[in-house]
Amino acid sequence: MTVTLVLGGARSGKSAHAEGLLDGTRPATYVATARRDPADREFDARIARHIARRPGCWSTVETADLRELFASAGPADPPLLVDDLATWLTALLDETGAWESGDLARVRERIADTVRALGDCACDVVLVSAETGLGIVPATASGRLFRDELGALNAAVAEVSTEVKLLIAGIPLRLR
């Protein structure tokens, strides 16, 4: 089992690069973590572009329960491509009310459980995540909370990853 983490900033090409790491002629499971909002046409168009470039032999699963997905995967299952951890974290912060309360205990517990399951996952996994630590310090408390928690999440996932890449201007840099 291999775990590959692909990091990058906005529009860096991280998703397309992650998709290219898998053999487009063989089945894979694309794990979409974003929540759809029918009123947000621009985001819906982004999702449609992502779907259009995926090979026809890939299936798509929309879920926020990554722990269960990793725990239930078997060695004969097709690889998982998770896109992306930043939207997964956003949903987790929403679900736990951490934006308002600042109480991160449940968030961190869920992250730890999910990372443990990822480390034990029996099939290959490619994960995409935003790298937010290279920019300016966000002006809002919620922006700083998100940046800090995503940085910690990325570091925890990198610990169990066999390969880590950073995309800058569409160019992949191998970190591990």
Cα distance between residue 147 and residue 134, in whole Å? 10
> What is the signed CA dihedral for 155, 160, 162, 164, rounded to 10 degrees?
-10
Does residue 50 carry a catalytic annotation?
yes
User: Which residue among 1, 50, 77, 104 is the active-site one?
Assistant: 50
Instruction: Indicate the SS3 state at residue 152.
Output: helix
Cα distance between residue 122 and residue 114, in whole Å? 14
Report yes or no: 19 and 53 within 8 Å, Cβ to Cβ: yes
Cα distance between residue 103 and residue 16, in whole Å? 35
DSSP structure string for 70-86: HHH--TTSPPEEEE-HH
Catalytically active residues, by annotation: 50
